């Protein structure tokens, strides 16, 4: 049995070695479909931004009096036209003492050098305005290329396409981007007692939930899920499933069949078709864990991650051990370790030492009497690995080191926040 940190290191090395043999396959997709995926090429600006000198405010674009450094109160300007977004002023060049009406984002005529906001202008006649407050020459103009110059880098290869990048890329007229192909993940469960939700339970049957749990955890990531269903508990059926999964997917995740029972055949089948890096990790819940690879027969290989069949154990192993390296496989360069937070535990925690334990808990932010923010966490009274109600109510796991048997109320503990609860 290896420690949790040893398992983390081992599975990271396994995935990094696999990535070296798998050059990223680029895929051209529409801009919005690239969200969450990772760029495979640098993106360079094709245009200046702004494309022209434009007005930063609604107001009047002036041609200042000759040699003036500021626009002063009571000056009057003759109004000779208008410029609005999408319809620039097309008249003759402005002369000193002349202006046009202008709106935010509209192109500034080359003959204009200042915009005075409309609140500081009083119309005198239909074609004459008067300045009501001073303004510096050159004010309220966004200059061509002041934000982005043509040729500047917008994003680099390896960066993730996030929602805040979309306005920038769209402003450059980019309709699509080249990103890494989605990671293909095949999943299956084993167990003759397992029935799909919606089916009728017989004596000794239970509903299978681990595949849906894997779906739920990976739903927010750019992966292509291949659901192979529940597989019969026989070496022949499991071996056939593994062969098909290895050909169809980059990563195969199984639920159940990795322990040492008489009908736990997954581990032996994987060993006969590839290799297992490790079996059993000193973590609770989730000790029966194995990972390695499956040979495809064509010189290639698919990664294999085995999960225990118990629902809570499966979930904890998936989120704490496997999800960080799945993010590495998706990005090619980024291990997504869970966000961690120091918090004060509300009640005593007593348990048997020996393994790193992940207890389900509820993290919350409180304000102390001195008005300072403080994180507090409460653990559920029962941490049995079959209790899915506590898992559903939790937003974090409390990490209890392997050698710790007792944590007193008021002590500081380290918690891992579920990825979808970040910023609780």
Distance CA 7, CA 188 (A): 23
Ramachandran angles phi, psi of 249, nearest 5° = -130, 165
Consecutive H or E run containing 279:
strand 274-279
| 40 vs 158: CA distance, rounded Å | 6
Average pLDDT over residues 258-274: 78
Q: What is the pLDDT of residues 195-220, one digit of tens each?
A: 888 888 888 888 888 999 999 999 98
Query: What confidence tens digit (pLDDT) does each residue in 102-147 have?
Result: 999 999 999 999 999 999 999 999 999 999 999 999 999 999 999 9
Token pair of 299 as six digits: 């010189």
> In sequence order, which residues have a C-beta less than 8 Å from that of residue 379 and are 6 or more positions away?
345, 346, 347, 349, 359, 360, 361, 398
> What is the Cα–Cα distance from 152 to 179, expressed in whole angstroms?
20
**Domains along the sequence of the chain with CATH:** 2-25+181-331 (3.40.980.10), 54-142 (2.170.190.11), 340-421 (2.40.340.10)
How confident is the model at residue 67, as a pLDDT? 66
Residue with the two structure tokens 């559920």: 380
Contact of 63 with 96, CB cutoff 8 Å: yes
Give the mean model confidence (pLDDT) for residues 25-36.
Answer: 95
Helix and strand numbers (H, E) in the chain are 8, 31
Report pTM: 0.84
What pLDDT is stored for residue 259 in this prediction? 66
C-alpha–C-alpha distance, residues 374 and 64, integer Å: 57
pLDDT of residue 36: 93
Cβ count within 10 A of residue 31: 15
* Stretch 235-245: mean pLDDT: 94
């Amino acid at each position: 049995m290896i420690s949790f940190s040893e398992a983390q290191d081992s599975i990271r090395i396994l995935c990094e070695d696999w990535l070296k043999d798998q050059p990223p396959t680029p895929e051209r997709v529409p801009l919005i479909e690239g969200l969450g995926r990772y760029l495979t090429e640098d993106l360079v600006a094709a245009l200046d931004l702004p494309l022209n000198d434009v007005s930063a405010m609604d107001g009047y674009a002036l041609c200042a009096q000759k040699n003036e450094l500021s626009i002063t109160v009571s000056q009057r300007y003759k109004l000779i036209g208008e410029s609005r977004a999408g319809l620039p002023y097309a008249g003759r060049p402005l002369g000193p003492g002349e202006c046009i009406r202008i709106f935010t984002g509209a192109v500034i005529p080359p003959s204009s050098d200042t915009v005075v906001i409309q609140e500081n202008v009083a119309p005198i006649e239909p074609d004459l305005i008067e300045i009501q407050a001073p303004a510096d020459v050159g004010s309220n103009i966004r200059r061509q290329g002041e934000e982005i110059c043509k040729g500047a880098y917008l994003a680099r290869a390896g960066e993730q396409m996030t929602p805040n990048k979309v306005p920038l890329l769209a402003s450059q007229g980019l309709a699509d981007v080249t990103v890494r192909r989605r990671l293909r993940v095949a999943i299956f469960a084993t167990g003759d007692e397992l029935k799909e939700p919606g089916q009728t339970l017989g004596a000794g049957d239970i509903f299978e939930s681990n595949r849906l749990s894997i779906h739920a955890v990976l739903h927010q990531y750019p992966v292509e899920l291949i659901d192979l269903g529940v597989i019969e508990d026989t070496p022949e059926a499991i071996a056939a499933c593994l062969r098909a999964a290895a050909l169809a997917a980059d990563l195969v995740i199984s639920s159940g069949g990795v322990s040492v029972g008489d009908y736990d055949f997954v581990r032996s089948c994987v060993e006969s078709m590839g290799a297992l890096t490790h079996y059993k990790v000193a973590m609770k819940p989730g000790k029966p864990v194995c990972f390695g690879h499956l040979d495809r027969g064509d010189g290639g290989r698919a990664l294999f991650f085995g999960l225990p069949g118990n629902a809570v154990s499966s979930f904890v192993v998936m989120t704490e051990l496997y999800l960080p390296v799945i993010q590495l496989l998706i990005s090619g360069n980024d291990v997504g370790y869970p966000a961690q937070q120091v918090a004060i535990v509300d009640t005593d925690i007593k348990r048997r030492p020996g393994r790193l334990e992940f207890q389900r808990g509820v993290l919350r932010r409180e304000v102390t009497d001195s008005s300072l923010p403080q994180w507090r966490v409460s653990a559920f009274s029962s941490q049995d690995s079959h209790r899915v109600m506590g898992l559903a109510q939790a937003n974090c796991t409390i990490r209890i080191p392997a050698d710790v048997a007792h944590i007193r109320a008021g002590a500081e503990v380290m918690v891992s926040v579920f990825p979808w609860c970040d910023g609780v």
